[in-house]
Structure 1
Amino acid sequence: MPTVTSPDGARQDPRRWLALGALVATMLVLGFDMTILNVALPTMADQLGASTGEQQWMADAYVVVFAALMLPAGLLGDRFGRRRMLITGLGIFLVGSLIGTLVGSVALVVVARAVMGLGGALVMPLAMAVLPALFGPGERTKAVGIVTAASALGLPLGPIVGGFLLDHFWWGSIFLINVPMVALGITACALLLPETTDPSAPKVDALSTALVASGLAALVYGIIEAPGRGWSDPLVLGAEASAVVLIGALVLRERRVARPMLDLSLLAHRGFLLNTLAATLVMFVLAGLMFVLPPYLQAVLGNDALGTGLRLLPMMGGLVVAGRATEPLVRRFGSPAVISAGLTVLAFAAILGSRTTAGSGFGFTALWLSIAGLGFGFGTVPAMDAALGTLPVDRAGSGSGLIMTVRQVGAAVGIALLGSLLSGLYTDRLDTGGLPDPAAGAAGDSVVAAHMVAERTDAPGLVASANSAYVHGMDVVLLVSGIAALVAALLVAALLPRAVRDAATGTGMAPAPTDVRQ
C-alpha cells in the first residue's frame, strides 16, 4: 500500500476500516496472551514448583520489558514505519512464544516472557499510534473503542482456550497457541495496513532506554522481594533506592535534551495528564485483579483450568457492554463524567468483592466481576481516546508510546504491589502448626502449594486455613483497589472538566509538542 502522507487523505481512504481489522488482529494476540498465562499460573506453580514471587516474575517479566521499551518502540515506528515495526514486533513475539513452548524451568519461562514483552512493546503503542492518522475526531472514539474491545475480547478467549489446552496438553501449549494468532496478525498488517512515518521524530536514546528498563526492573524487584525478605532488608531498600535514582536520572536527562524521547512537556497539559492517570489506575487494578483471581477460582473454589477461564466471563461481559455504550454516553455527558462514573463503578465492584469469604461461592463473585467489567470499560475507553486526542498526528508514535508506557508501569506495579500485599497477608494468616519446616515453607509459598502439601502430608485443617488465608489477602487487595479507584474518580470529577474547558478556550495548556521540540 502507498505511504499515508496526509492525515486528511488517510481519513477519507475507505481501506481505513480494513486497516482497523489488522489492528484488531494484533490486539487480539496481546489480550489473548495476557490472560492465558494468568489462568495457567496455578498449574505452572504446581508443575514447576513456582512460589508466589516466582509467579509474579513470570507475569511481570513481560510487563516490565513491555513498559520499558514502548517509548523507543514508538519512536522507531515514527522514523522507520509503523507497519514495518508492527510486523517486526509480532515476529519477536512469535520467537518468545516458541521459547516458552520448549522450556521447562521457571527461569526460562521468565526469559520467554521477557522476549514476548519486547515484541509487545513494538505492537501496542504503534497499533494505537496509527489511529489518529487513519480516523478523524468523529470516528476516532469508535476506532479506539473497537481496538480496546479487541484487546478485551482476547481476555475471555485466553482463559477458555488456555483452560482447554491445560486440561488436555502440557502447559507449554499455552505459548504454542500464539503461533497461528501471530501469523494472522502479521498477514493482516502486511496486506491491509498503510505505512505511516514521521522522519523528523527524535532518535532512540540508548541511555534513556537503559535508565527506563533498569529503573523499572529495580522498582518491581524490590516490591516482589519485600514480603519474603522484609521491607527493611538491605537488598529491598537498595533496589528501591536504585529505582529512585535511575528514574530521577531519566527525568533529568529528558528535561535537558533538545529532542527528548520521553516528552515530559505533554504531562504539563492537565487534560493529557489526568486522562492518562485515569487509564493507568484502571490498568493497576485490572492487572492486580487478574493476578489474584485465578488462584481463588482454581484452588479455593476447586475449578479446573477451563472452569477458571469460563468463570472470568462475567467481567468480560461487562467490558463488552461498556465498550458498546461508551460512545453515545460520551457524546451526551462528556468524557470526564463517563470516566469518573466508570472509576466509581469499579470502586464499588472492588469494595463489594472485598466481602468475599471462602464459602461465598461463584454466584457472588460473578456479580461483582460483571460490575467491575463495566467500570473497566467506562473508565478506559474514553480516557484513552481523550488522551490520544491531545496528540498531533506527526507525534502519534512517541506520544502514544508515553501513554502506553505509563499504563504498563501501572500494570507492572499493580501485579508487584498487590501481589506482594497478598503474599504477605497470606503467609501471616496461614496456620502451619504441626508441619515440619520444609512442608511449612512450601505451604507458605502459595495457596496451590498448600493444597499440594495437604495432599502429601494429610495435614488436618491445612486446606481450610490456606483457603481462608488466601481469601483474606484477596479481600484486602480488593479493598485497597476500590479505595484507590474511588479517590481517582473524585479527582477526575473535580479536575478534568476544568482541563477540558481550558483546552477548548486555549488557556492553561502546555506549548504544542512541535514547539517544544524545536
Structure 2
Amino acid sequence: MVTVISTPASWHNPRRWLALGALVMSMLVLGFDTTILNVALPTMAEQLGASTGEQQWMADAYVVVFAALMLPAGLLGDRFGRRRMLIGGLVVFLAGSVAGALADDVNWVVVARALMGVGAALITPLAMSVLPSLFAPDERGKAIGLVSTGSALGLPLGPIIGGWLLEHFWWGSVFVLNVPMVALAIVACLVLLPETSDPASPRIDTLSAAFTTGGLGALVYAIIEAPERGWTDPLILTLLAAAAVLLTGLVLRSRREERPMLDMGLLAHRGFLFNAIAATLVMFVLSGLLFVLPPYLQSVLGNDTLATGVKLLPLVLGLSVSAKLAAPVADRFGARATVTGGLVVLAFAALLGARTTTQDGYGFTALWLAVAGLGFGFALVPSMTGALTALPADRAGSGSGLLLTLRQVGAAVGIALLGSLLSNAFRDRLDVTGLPSATADTAGDSVVAAHLIAEKAGSLHLAVSANDAYVHGMTLVLLVCGIASLAAALLAAAFLPGAPVAPRTGGAGVRMASVKADA
C-alpha cells in the first residue's frame, strides 16, 4: 500500500463526475428516508396501533440519531479513511432498511429507523468531505450544489414514492426501496471513489460524542412526550434540564480543546454561521410540514396513499424549479438576496396555508404547496452551498459534519416541536362527548385513530370534529412555520454576505487528500 499526495491533476479525472453521481445517489436515498415514512404513518398507525407520539418517534428516531452522531462520524472519516467509512455507513443503512422491512411492531420500527440513522450519520458528512479531493475549487461549488440538491429533492420525493409503494405493496416496502439503491451506491463508491483522509484530524472525543447524543436525545424526547405528560411533568423538566446541561458541557469542552469535535471557531465565519442558521430553519419548516401534511391529505381530504404522495407534487415541482434557478439567481443578485427572497416566499406560503379550512378542496393546498416549494429551493440550496464553500479545506469532514448536524437538528426539532403542537391542539379541540374514557383517549391519539373509532361507532359528529381539530392544529403549525421563516429572512437580510464565499485553496486543500493506491 502506497500513499500518494493528490495533485491538481486528480481534479481533472473524467471519472470524477461518475463518482459525484454515486454521492448524489447516496444523498438522494437519505433524503427519501427523512420523509418517506411520513406518508406511511397513517397506514402504520392503523395497522400497528401507533399513537401520534409513537408516529413522531418512528419519524424522529432516524433524524435524532442522524444528528447526534454526525460530528463524530465526520471525524472517523477524516482519521480512518473517508471512502472506507462512507461504505461502512451505506452497509449499516442497508442493514437498518432490511430490519425495517421485516419489523412487525412499533418498537422494532423505531429501532430499525435508529440503525438507519447511524448509517446516515456516516454517509452525509463523508459524501461532502470527499468533494475537495475530486473537484478543483472552480468546480467545487457546482459539485456541492448538486449533492445538496440531491438531498433536498429527496425530501419531498419521499412521500410520493412512498405513496406509490403503499398503493401496491405492504408498508414495509418503503424500507425495501432502499436495498437496490444502496447496494448500487456501495458498488459505485468501491469502484469510483479514491480513499482520502486527514491524519492530522483531531481524535474522536468520546465524552463530546456522549454529550451530543445524550443532549439531543433528551431534548427531542422531552418535546415529543410533553403534550402527553404536560410541560411541568417532573420527567419532562428533568429531561430538559439534562439536555441543557449536556449541550452546555459540549460547548464548554469544545472551547478547551485545541482541535475539538465541535469546532466553535467555524462559527466565527459569518458566511458559514448565518447560512447554517438559514439552512437549519428551512429544515425545521420543511420537516414539520412534511410530517403534518400526509394525515391531512389522507384522513381529512380522503385520499388513498398513492394520491396522498402524488398530491405533494406541487411542492416537488416548485422545489425542482427553484433548485435549478437558485445558482444563476444567486450569481446575478447575490446570495443574501436569493436566500432572503426564498425565505420570504416560504413565509408567505406558510401563512397562506394557515388559512386552510375543512371546506377547502385540494386546489388551495396545491397552490400554497407550489409556492412553498419555490421558497424552499431558493433558500436551502444557496444557503447550503454558501456555508460549505466557506469551510476551511482542512476541516472538510468535521466542518461539513457540523453544518449537516445543525440541519438535522432543525429537522428533528421541527418534527418533534411542530408534531407536538399539532398533537396538543388536536387533542384539546376534538369533541369526544359521549365516548367512554378509554375510547376517548384512543381517539385523541391521532386523526387516524379518531376516524377509525368514528367509522366503527357510525359517528359522523366524531369524524367531522376530528377533521376540524386536525385542520386547527395544522393551522397553528403553519403559523409557527411562517413566523420562523420571517425570522430567518430578517437574519439573512441583516447578516449574510452579499455573494458566495470563495472556497479556500492551497496547501491545506492539497494536504487534506491522501490518495491510497495498491502497490
Q: TM-score, normalised by structure 1?
A: 0.94
Q: How big is the shift at 1:90?
A: 0.6
> Aligned to 1:461, what secondary structure does the other structure show?
helix
Partner in structure 2 of residue 150 of structure 1: 150
Q: Confirm or deny: 8 A CA contact 2:35 2:287 kept in the other structure.
A: no
Q: How big is the shift at 1:35?
A: 2.4
Q: Which stretch of structure 1 is more off in the superposition, 116-125 or 142-151?
A: 142-151
Partner in structure 1 of residue 81 of structure 2: 81
Partner in structure 1 of residue 306 of structure 2: 306
Q: Deviations over 1:325-345 (max 9, x none)?
A: 011111111111111111111
Partner in structure 1 of residue 355 of structure 2: 355
Q: How big is the shift at 1:484?
A: 0.9
Partner in structure 1 of residue 341 of structure 2: 341
Alignment: residue pair count: 506
Q: How big is the shift at 1:104?
A: 1.0
Q: Confirm or deny: 8 A CA contact 1:7 1:134 kept in the other structure.
A: no
Partner in structure 2 of residue 181 of structure 1: 181
Q: How big is the shift at 1:156?
A: 4.7
Identity of aligned residues (%): 68
The aligned amino acid for 2:361 is: G
Change in 2 beyond 3 A, CA 1:489/1:153: closer
Distance 1:410 1:174 in 2: 24
The aligned amino acid for 2:426 is: Y
Partner in structure 1 of residue 462 of structure 2: 462
Partner in structure 2 of residue 406 of structure 1: 406
Partner in structure 2 of residue 278 of structure 1: 278
Partner in structure 2 of residue 259 of structure 1: 259
Partner in structure 1 of residue 161 of structure 2: 161
Partner in structure 1 of residue 94 of structure 2: 94
Q: 2:72 aligned with 1:72, yes or no? A: yes
Partner in structure 2 of residue 40 of structure 1: 40
Q: How big is the shift at 1:256?
A: 1.0
Distance 2:309 2:4 in 1: 41
What is the 5 A alignment of 1:7-406?
8-406=8-406
Q: Deviations over 1:201-258 (max 9, x none)?
A: 1111111111101100100011111111111111111110110011111111111122
Distance 2:81 2:8 in 1: 18
Change in 2 beyond 3 A, CA 1:435/1:3: farther
Change in 2 beyond 3 A, CA 1:149/1:47: same
Q: Confirm or deny: 8 A CA contact 1:3 1:196 kept in the other structure.
A: no
Change in 2 beyond 3 A, CA 1:394/1:446: same
Partner in structure 1 of residue 517 of structure 2: none
Distance 2:440 2:318 in 1: 40
The aligned amino acid for 1:368 is: W
Distance 1:156 1:229 in 2: 32
Q: Deviations over 1:337-382 (max 9, x none)?
A: 1111111111111111111111211111111111111111111111
Q: How big is the shift at 1:495?
A: 1.5
> Aligned to 1:403, what secondary structure does the other structure show?
helix
Q: Confirm or deny: 8 A CA contact 2:279 2:384 kept in the other structure.
A: yes
Q: Confirm or deny: 8 A CA contact 2:34 2:63 kept in the other structure.
A: no
Distance 1:175 1:491 in 2: 38
Partner in structure 2 of residue 452 of structure 1: 452
Partner in structure 2 of residue 516 of structure 1: none
Partner in structure 1 of residue 437 of structure 2: 437
Distance 2:489 2:14 in 1: 38
The aligned amino acid for 2:423 is: S
Q: Which stretch of structure 1 is more off in the superposition, 129-138 or 174-183?
A: 129-138
Q: 2:509 aligned with 1:495, yes or no? A: no
Distance 1:426 1:14 in 2: 55
Change in 2 beyond 3 A, CA 1:443/1:7: farther
Change in 2 beyond 3 A, CA 1:244/1:393: same
The aligned amino acid for 2:139 is: E
Q: Confirm or deny: 8 A CA contact 2:34 2:62 kept in the other structure.
A: no
Q: How big is the shift at 1:460?
A: 3.4
Q: Confirm or deny: 8 A CA contact 2:67 2:408 kept in the other structure.
A: yes
Structure 2: segments with no counterpart, 5+ residues: 510-519
Change in 2 beyond 3 A, CA 1:4/1:171: farther
Q: How big is the shift at 1:84?
A: 1.2
Q: Confirm or deny: 8 A CA contact 1:93 1:120 kept in the other structure.
A: yes
Q: Confirm or deny: 8 A CA contact 2:35 2:159 kept in the other structure.
A: yes
Q: Confirm or deny: 8 A CA contact 1:141 1:382 kept in the other structure.
A: no
Q: How big is the shift at 1:3?
A: 7.3
Q: Which stretch of structure 1 is more off in the superposition, 470-479 or 265-274?
A: 265-274
The aligned amino acid for 1:74 is: G
Distance 1:156 1:337 in 2: 24
Q: Confirm or deny: 8 A CA contact 1:141 1:327 kept in the other structure.
A: no
Q: Which stretch of structure 1 is more off in the superposition, 299-308 or 1-10?
A: 1-10
Q: Confirm or deny: 8 A CA contact 1:50 1:106 kept in the other structure.
A: yes
Distance 2:318 2:58 in 1: 28
Q: How big is the shift at 1:4?
A: 7.5
Distance 2:340 2:2 in 1: 41
Q: How big is the shift at 1:263?
A: 0.4
Change in 2 beyond 3 A, CA 1:152/1:383: closer
Q: Confirm or deny: 8 A CA contact 1:133 1:393 kept in the other structure.
A: no
Distance 1:20 1:4 in 2: 21
Distance 2:4 2:69 in 1: 25
Distance 1:55 1:309 in 2: 18
Change in 2 beyond 3 A, CA 1:15/1:4: farther
Q: Deviations over 1:372-423 (max 9, x none)?
A: 1111111111111111112122210010000000111111111100100111
> Aligned to 2:198, what secondary structure does the other structure show?
coil
Structure 1: segments with no counterpart, 5+ residues: 507-511, 514-518
> Aligned to 2:27, what secondary structure does the other structure show?
helix
Q: Deviations over 1:45-96 (max 9, x none)?
A: 1101101001011111111100010011101111122111111101000111
Distance 1:275 1:158 in 2: 25
Q: Which stretch of structure 1 is more off in the superposition, 277-286 or 195-204?
A: 195-204
Distance 1:310 1:477 in 2: 22
Distance 1:37 1:8 in 2: 43
Distance 1:112 1:242 in 2: 26
Distance 1:198 1:377 in 2: 33
Q: How big is the shift at 1:128?
A: 1.6
Q: Which stretch of structure 1 is more off in the superposition, 216-225 or 76-85?
A: 76-85
Distance 1:78 1:259 in 2: 13
Distance 1:314 1:231 in 2: 37
Change in 2 beyond 3 A, CA 1:446/1:302: same
> Aligned to 1:50, what secondary structure does the other structure show?
coil
Q: Confirm or deny: 8 A CA contact 2:447 2:470 kept in the other structure.
A: yes
Q: How big is the shift at 1:170?
A: 2.0
Distance 2:347 2:142 in 1: 26
Change in 2 beyond 3 A, CA 1:101/1:495: same
What is the 5 A alignment of 1:466-477?
466-477=466-477
Distance 2:459 2:438 in 1: 14
Distance 1:179 1:345 in 2: 37
